[in-house]
Every structure is written in structure tokens, then in C-alpha cells.
Amino acid sequence: MAQIFFSHSKKDEQQNDFFRKVFSTTRVKGVIEEFEQIDKIINSEKIKQDISLSSAIFVSLGPNTDNILHTRDWILWESGAAANRGIWVFEPIQYLGKINVAIPHLSHYVIYDTTDPWMKYIRNIVNSYDDYPILFLTLLGSALGALAGGNLEGMAIGAIGVPILFLTNRTRPSGKKIKCSNCSSIYEVHIPSGLNFYRCPICNASWKIELGILPTQGFHFSTG
């Protein structure tokens, strides 16, 4: 089973519940654990192992990633430990302008809302890491290849051909590729329609832009 490591503050309950609901509707395991857990030991080696077994890391930013210093330090450490994997940084639109934590490495920056359309959008991101269909189709392709060819060559054709056909139909939501004019970092930005600015999550520079992904009506946020 594929898994995604979820880096977060346990005190950001609204955001955590939202992502738990997203993961609960997929076959991808969301590894959601806190260093501060009491019922079992969670240490840096355990976290490092979980990250190494994950296909990607989701970094969930919220008010407590700035307010609680040790949480901020751990989130930065976890994102650094996952530098060779896809790193998705999620920032709630209602806190845009209030969060200053900088993530040194990332692949995607998502400003989202806790609405049904955004839940579906993020679910599609999670599902794009689901390896179960690939494993199933590999076995199916091997069987079909064996029946068709009756030899190892036929099995190889079946094992390769079916997953490739399947993979061409799988799409991972893509944002707009951005190169920050301040720090020269390159990543993809996913932001709601109607929002005309964003902050670089690496250097905190603010930029005007219009490249909305989903309509978000009636949202309210403060930059103060």
C-alpha cells in the first residue's frame, strides 16, 4: 500500500480533520503522527523511516506552525528529510498573509479552502500516488501475456503493456510552474480562482498573479 507522510501541527485541528477525511476516501495511507504522542514512542528515527517509505510528503501549514517553535522546527526537519521526494505544501486561504514559515524544498505549493471542490482536488492528488492499480494490472498483464504468448516474452509484454496503458490515463493535478524572481526557486503553484497574489513559501516574497485552479466564492481572509 502506498503511503504519504503528513507533516503538521496536532493543534491545527480543522486542517488535520480535513486531510483525514481526504485520506479516508482513498487507498493511500496517510501517515499522521505527532512527536508529542504519549501512547507510543515517536522519535526521529521512526519519523525518518516513515518518510523513507512514503511516496510523497504533505506539509500542512496553519497558525500553529508559526506559533509553536518546536512544531515549526520539526516540520522543517521533516521536509528536509523528504528532499528527494515530492513535497506538497498546503496553506489554508484563511491564513494567507498570517503564516511566515519558509520551507526550503518543495515541489508544489497549494493555497486551498476546506470545501468539497478542494477536497476532491486534493483527493485526486492523493490518488495519483496509489500504486494498487499498477500492482494489480502488472499481475493481470503477466497472466494475459502468458496466455497470449505462452512464454516468458509474452509475459513480459503483458506485464509492461497494460500498466503503461493505465499510467497514460492517470493524471496528477498540475498547477502553474513558477520561478520566483527573488530566490529563483522553481515549483508549481495551485491557488483558487479570484486570488491575485501568493507568497513564495521558500523566501516569503509576495507576488501578484492570476492562475486560479478552482472557483472559491465568498472566501474571506486578512493579510494583517
With contact defined as beta carbons under 8 Å apart, do 90 and 65 qualify? no
Asked whether residue 106 carries a pLDDT value surpassing 90, the answer given is yes
**d(C-alpha 101, C-alpha 65), whole Å:** 7
pLDDT digits (tens, 9 = 90+) for 20-78: 999 999 999 999 876 555 455 667 888 889 999 999 999 999 989 888 888 888 898 89
**d(C-alpha 14, C-alpha 39), whole Å:** 22
Q: Reading across the β-sheet that carries 186-190, which strands appear in turn?
A: 29-31, 3-7, 56-60, 86-92, 108-112, 186-190, 176-179
pTM above 0.85, yes or no: no
Question: What is residue 42's predicted lDDT score, i.e. its pLDDT?
Answer: 66
What is the SS3 assignment for 69? helix
> Which CATH fold would you assign to the domain 3-128+174-208?
Rossmann fold (3.40.50)
Asked whether residue 135 carries a pLDDT value surpassing 60, the answer given is no
Cell digits of residue 9: 501541527
Q: How far is CA 6 from CA 26, 70, 117, 218, in A?
A: 15, 17, 21, 28
Q: Where in the chain is the domain with CATH 3.40.50?
A: 3-128+174-208
Asked whether residue 158 carries a pLDDT value surpassing 90, the answer given is no
pLDDT digits (tens, 9 = 90+) for 161-196: 444 444 433 589 988 899 999 999 999 999 888 888
Region of 201 (left: φ > 0; alpha: ψ -120 to 50; beta: rest) is: alpha
Question: What is residue 152's predicted lDDT score, i.e. its pLDDT?
Answer: 55
